[in-house]
Chain A
Amino acid sequence: MKKLYSNKWVIFTLVLPGVLVFLFAILAPICLSVYYGFTDYSGMGEARFVGLDNYVKLFHDPAFGRSLLNSLLLAIGFICIQHPLAMIVAAVLDKLQGKAEGVFRCIYFIPNVISVAVIAYLWKFIYNPDFGLLNNVLKVFGFEGQVNWLSQENAIWSVLVVLIWHGFGWGMLIYYTGIKNIDPVLYEAASIDGAGWWTTFSRITLPLMKPVIMINVTMAIISALKQMETVYLLTNGGPANSTQFAANYLYQQAFKAFKYGYGNAIGVVFIIICVAVTVLLNTVFRDKQEA
């Protein structure tokens, strides 16, 4: 077998599909995007070269600024709300043992299994001011009047709740697997030494979970940047761009406003931001690891 893998033809054919996919499905579209980003192409007909016009416009576009701010809010929401909760739930699940462990693990993971379209419509109904679940629950507690959960001021928070809730299962599952990989002998030794639950969690669980936390945080930030489908189906960026996210805005500009060139410029800036954030995170985490 070893000899087989040293055969250059075998190596070539094993690597080729991946290289081809990368070349034609990732690199070529990015190059095309860079090209179209310098044109006023409408998606049909001729494309005219307009230099940096699209990029200049983009940096003065309040809707794009808003969409980046919303991505940042979502990333903060993921890191400060979703992940601590997911980690605590994972730690508690680990302690549950027995049947309950499996049952609760399933329950917490259910939102991830349901299709995004169903989730979006489900929450649309929950948030509806007239017949929605939330307002009816409030009514039971004696609250008069209708809360407009998707108003211009509230919409972004309502959307964040849905996104944080929807992604919770994944985060929890990864933390849960991380915790399961920790050697139980360490916990036994700690308990013999008389360590309480907090000491065990902060001195054993947390430090040994570092690599998992790093992966989860990186994935959370990238998914915050890439957010599109839930927002598209839930609010489509509205009212008045208050829940706009970069990917959704790109879609609207390229395919609804027929500004394909501008849409590609958004795409290019978007790629640069994603790559920069990933590099930054890697550097930060590498430094920490070394430290």
Chain B
Amino acid sequence: MKKKLIAALLVAAMSVSVLAGCGDSKKESTKTGSDNKTSASADAKGDKADDKEDDKSGDDTASGEDVTLKLFSNLPDRKNGQGLVEQMIIDEYMEANPNVKIEVEALDEEAYKTKFKAYAMDGMPDVVSIWGQPSFLDEVLDAGVLAELNEGDYADYKFISGSLEGFKKDGKLYGLPRNTDIMLIYYNQKMFEDNSWEVPSTYEDLMTLCGTIKDAGITPIAMDGGDGWPMACFLTDLLVKVAGTEHSNIISNAISTGDFSAPELKTATQLLVDSAAAGMFQTGYDSQDYGTTQNLFTNGQAAMYCMGSWDSSMALNEDISEEIRTNIRAFTMPVVKDGKGGANDIAAWNGGGYAVSANSAVKDEAIKFLNFMYQPDKLSKYGWENGVGMSAQDQSEYMTGNETELQKQIIEILNKATSVSGTPINDCGPSAFKTAIESEIQGVSNGSTSVDDFLTTIGAACK
């Protein structure tokens, strides 16, 4: 009898432990949601609370009941740059709407894109960061996970003309752009003046200048080659200078046919290869990441740094020594010999932005928050005041006259632009193409793959 009892107890204990493993976290998260109803601070944490729990709160939005909005962001640094701007707006929204709690989950770009896909399979957060580029958006829109937005609502939001195009499919709008990104070559003005170096006006001058800088024992251009995409942006910039306004047709033809043998593509790639071979970039550029590369420039070990305008917040970053941050200036890719692109044909695009999940239980509140973010005096204004580069909306009325020299230079570059490139080459095709070009460009730039092989391989990834 005693043994039977022990046996029965063992069976029961085992069953409980097995069933406990199959437990649901819904109850717990419901509790958490209601406990935090007065909280006014958004936590950047990986909250996996179930969507369904929000169903109720979403339905009750109108009556001022508690709503929890989940924002999934690609800006993990909440104290600087764009992450700070995003957080400022979130805090402001929660203050204005005490019944709304916004939970932020922020990851680095690569981790973000991976988790975005996992979310796409099983319940997206309510508001998400997206990229208005085919390499990211095509598959996402095909899967139907983003909510359609009413374009008419944004007539007064002062979006720069054409900036919404990348976020549309079949004429329907699915997201809003956050930035206007310009590809720049930042330089250390003081270092240039001390050494009597001039800002180059042609690519040949740039090559000569890099030779001089290298001879002086300094890295000419800090390049984040470990990630692949900055070099692809550099290649886009070169292609703009080689092919002029024709470049976008060349890229779209190449991607649709998988044939990258156009002479302009070859010339631009060859220029990149020759530049790397001549020592334009730091030793080991093809394996170094974003942070390491930026540090080379901000520590004064590199004279120039090739990156987008989003990094112009370096001029306001107090972690960078004053001597360097106040002397950061920028120029765009100089013209190439016999190239069709002029000095004012620039590589620029509207990349990152936000969208609302199609299956969000609190879709109305999410769209309300999205619209709040894009009120011209929010993302645009705060972004400008915090020096995070150009927004996708007209910022002219927020000029204070106290802009950094770098900001003024960037406005001038944009104002003078005769044409902008649109999406950089790596983001023009499907994501398989993006992965291929960002990996293969390392091999071609360091000379281990020939230009022809490179163009053939990336072509194959389009098919």
Using a CB–CB distance below 8 Å, which chain A residues touch chain B?
Answer: 3-4, 7, 9-10, 12-14, 16-17, 20, 42-45, 63, 124, 127-130, 146, 148-153, 155, 235-242, 252-253, 255-259
Residues of A within 8 A of B446 (CB): 151-152, 239-240
Residue B278 is within 8 A (CB to CB) of chain A in the complex: no
Give CA–CA (A181, B142) in the complex, Å.
62
Give CA–CA (A12, B144) in the complex, Å.
45
Interface residues in B265-321 by Cβ distance below 8 A to A read 282-284, 286-289, 292, 296, 301
Contact of B14 among A7, A14, A150, A152 (CB under 8 A): A14
Interface residues in B115-149 by Cβ distance below 8 A to A read 117, 120-121, 139-140, 142-145
Contact of A238 among B18, B282, B287, B432 (CB under 8 A): B287
Cβ contacts A to B, 28 pairs, < 8 Å = A10-B7, A10-B10, A13-B11, A13-B14, A13-B15, A17-B14, A43-B139, A44-B120, A44-B121, A44-B140, A44-B142, A45-B139, A127-B284, A128-B292, A129-B284, A130-B283, A150-B284, A151-B284, A151-B286, A153-B448, A235-B226, A238-B226, A238-B442, A241-B439, A256-B434, A256-B435, A257-B436, A258-B117
Closest to B10 in A: A10
Going nearest first, the 8 A-B pairs with the smallest beta carbon separation are A240-B443, A44-B143, A150-B287, A13-B14, A257-B435, A45-B143, A239-B442, A239-B286
Residues of B within 8 A of A129 (CB): 282-284
Contact B284 A255 (CB under 8 A): no
Give CA–CA (A257, B436) in the complex, Å.
8
Rounded to whole Å, the gap between the CB of A216 and the closest CB of chain B is 31
0/1 per residue, B416-444, Cβ < 8 Å to A? Answer: 00000000000000111011100110111
Residue B216 is within 8 A (CB to CB) of chain A in the complex: no
Rounded to whole Å, the gap between the CB of A78 and the closest CB of chain B is 23
Contact B287 A155 (CB under 8 A): yes
Contact of A255 among B117, B228, B288, B296 (CB under 8 A): B117
Contact A4 B7 (CB under 8 A): yes
Residues of A within 8 A of B283 (CB): 129-130, 146, 148
Interface residues in B389-431 by Cβ distance below 8 A to A read 430-431
Residues of A within 8 A of B219 (CB): 130
Residues of B within 8 A of A150 (CB): 284, 286-287
Contact B301 A130 (CB under 8 A): yes
Residue B110 is within 8 A (CB to CB) of chain A in the complex: yes
Residues of B within 8 A of A9 (CB): 7, 11
Q: Which of A17, A151, A257 has the most CB of B within 10 A?
A: A257
Main secondary structure of the interface of B (DSSP, over half): helix
Contact A3 B3 (CB under 8 A): yes
Give CA–CA (A63, B435) in the complex, Å.
12
Contact A130 B7 (CB under 8 A): no
Residues of B within 8 A of A255 (CB): 113-114, 117
Residues of B within 8 A of A128 (CB): 284, 288, 292
Residues of A within 8 A of B286 (CB): 150-152, 238-240
- The interface size bin for chain B is 35 or more
Interface residues in B1-37 by Cβ distance below 8 A to A read 3, 6-7, 10-11, 14-15, 17-18
| 6 other A-B residue contacts (CB within 8 Å) besides A238-B442, A252-B435, A258-B139 | A16-B18, A45-B143, A127-B284, A237-B439, A238-B226, A240-B449
Rounded to whole Å, the gap between the CB of A121 and the closest CB of chain B is 10
Give CA–CA (A258, B140) in the complex, Å.
10
Give CA–CA (A135, B130) in the complex, Å.
41
Residue B225 is within 8 A (CB to CB) of chain A in the complex: yes
Given contacts A13-B10, A257-B435, contact A149 B226 (CB under 8 A): no
Contact B287 A257 (CB under 8 A): no
Residues of A within 8 A of B289 (CB): 124
Closest to B448 in A: A152
Contact of A236 among B18, B139, B145, B226 (CB under 8 A): B226
Rounded to whole Å, the gap between the CB of A26 and the closest CB of chain B is 15
Contact B120 A130 (CB under 8 A): no
Main secondary structure of the interface of A (DSSP, over half): loop
Give CA–CA (A235, B288) in the complex, Å.
8
Interface residues in B146-168 by Cβ distance below 8 A to A read none
Residues of A within 8 A of B432 (CB): 257-259
Interface residues in B314-331 by Cβ distance below 8 A to A read none
Give CA–CA (A241, B436) in the complex, Å.
10
Contact A42 B442 (CB under 8 A): no
Residues of B within 8 A of A16 (CB): 14, 18
Contact A257 B226 (CB under 8 A): no
Contact B284 A7 (CB under 8 A): no
Residues of B within 8 A of A239 (CB): 225-226, 286-287, 442-443, 446, 448
Contact A130 B282 (CB under 8 A): yes
Contact B284 A257 (CB under 8 A): no
Residues of B within 8 A of A149 (CB): 284
Residues of B within 8 A of A127 (CB): 284
Residues of A within 8 A of B6 (CB): 4
Contact B296 A43 (CB under 8 A): no
Rounded to whole Å, the gap between the CB of B109 and the closest CB of chain A is 11
Residues of A within 8 A of B10 (CB): 4, 10, 13-14
Give CA–CA (A249, B284) in the complex, Å.
22
Contact A240 B431 (CB under 8 A): no
Rounded to whole Å, the gap between the CB of A248 and the closest CB of chain B is 12
Closest to B288 in A: A128
Give CA–CA (A252, B287) in the complex, Å.
17
Give CA–CA (A225, B225) in the complex, Å.
27
Give CA–CA (A155, B117) in the complex, Å.
30
Contact B284 A256 (CB under 8 A): no
Give CA–CA (A258, B436) in the complex, Å.
12
Give CA–CA (A10, B296) in the complex, Å.
65
Rounded to whole Å, the gap between the CB of A153 and the closest CB of chain B is 8
Residues of A within 8 A of B292 (CB): 124, 128
Rounded to whole Å, the gap between the CB of B216 and the closest CB of chain A is 15
Q: Which of B113, B144, B284, B439 has the most CB of A within 10 A?
A: B284
Closest to B115 in A: A255
Contact of A258 among B3, B17, B431, B444 (CB under 8 A): B431
Residues of A within 8 A of B440 (CB): 240
Residues of A within 8 A of B120 (CB): 43-44
Rounded to whole Å, the gap between the CB of A240 and the closest CB of chain B is 3
0/1 per residue, B55-74, Cβ < 8 Å to A? Answer: 00000000000000000000
Residues of B within 8 A of A152 (CB): 286, 442-443, 446, 448
Closest to A244 in B: B439
Closest to B302 in A: A130
